[in-house]
Amino acid sequence: MQGLLDWDYMLRSIPRVASGIPVSLSIACIAFLFGILIGFALALIKLRKTPFLRPIAALYVSFTRGTPLLVQIFLCYYGIPLILRYLNGLYSWDLDISRIPAIAFMYVSFSLNVGAYLSESIRAALLSVDKGQIEAARSLGMTSSQTFRRVTLPQAAIVAVPNLGNTFIALLKDSSLAFAASVPEIIGQAKIAAARSSKFFEAYIVAAALYWIICIAFERLLAFAEKRLRKHEEGILGA
């Protein structure tokens, strides 16, 4: 009698599915890095009430939060080549759009998406810094940029770490949507493996297990980082 699962097949398919890990991680890491930059810029625009840029930033955040990520992926995947082709014609650049790899569009769409979500976390973290400490820094004669770098930013970073970490883990899982644009990340590889063997259930169990292991590893790392960063609060918590 055949078992519920083909264990042997699952073991054999691990290397194949795991070969998507670097792609998944690269989407998550690159999008996270640019997302922080975008989110930071958006947070500053909102906090400083920059004229002209503020309504644009608000529109962008509203659109990103109000539409599914999958739709945003498709918009980038199909839209960016069209826009580039148009610009190509307009300025007679010599750009070969067909040679841009699909993953480049994933970097763009995931960065834009995560940037919008991070902007609120970063803004809240910046606002959480004690005004009194900012005044103390100013009263020592620090310029506003020195105060920002030496007092506001380090403390906001500590506050933001748990939120940033959770966003990263969510982003890592969301990167699975890149399969829709035929990017060979973990799910993409599982699909390819399963299409040949028709063992879809097994292939996706392997993919799920890989995601789970990676996420647990990052959660551990995050908890460790948080503990290190909050060293200065030991006295308060211990009292």
Note the residues at the interface with another protein (CB under 8 A): 130, 132-133, 135-143, 146, 150-151, 154-155, 158, 231-236
Give me the sign of the Cα torsion angle 134, 140, 145, 150.
negative
Q: How many CA atoms lie within 13 A of 137 on its CB side?
A: 18
Cα→Cα distances 39→22, 122, 124, 142, Å: 25, 7, 11, 26
Nearer to another protein by Cβ, of 65 and 230: the residue is: 230
Integer Cα distance of 185 and 174 in angstroms: 11
Q: How far is the CB of 64 from another protein (least distance, A)?
A: 32
Instruction: Count CB atoms within 10 A of the CB of residue 36.
Output: 21
Q: How far is the CB of 147 from another protein (least distance, A)?
A: 9
Instruction: Count CB atoms within 10 A of the CB of residue 121.
Output: 20
Q: How far is the CB of 131 from another protein (least distance, A)?
A: 9
Q: How far is the CB of 166 from another protein (least distance, A)?
A: 22
What tokens appear for 164 in the block? 């940033």
Q: How far is the CB of 130 from another protein (least distance, A)?
A: 7
Q: How far is the CB of 226 from another protein (least distance, A)?
A: 14
Nearer to another protein by Cβ, of 92 and 145: the residue is: 145
Nearer to another protein by Cβ, of 58 and 140: the residue is: 140
Integer Cα distance of 237 and 102 in angstroms: 49
Integer Cα distance of 64 and 117 in angstroms: 8
Nearer to another protein by Cβ, of 27 and 159: the residue is: 159
What tokens appear for 193 in the block? 């493996």
Nearer to another protein by Cβ, of 65 and 227: the residue is: 227
Nearer to another protein by Cβ, of 72 and 155: the residue is: 155
Tokens 């190509």 map to which residue?
A: 88
Integer Cα distance of 111 and 30 in angstroms: 7
Q: How far is the CB of 228 from another protein (least distance, A)?
A: 12
Nearer to another protein by Cβ, of 99 and 232: the residue is: 232
Q: How many CA atoms lie within 13 A of 35 on its CB side?
A: 28
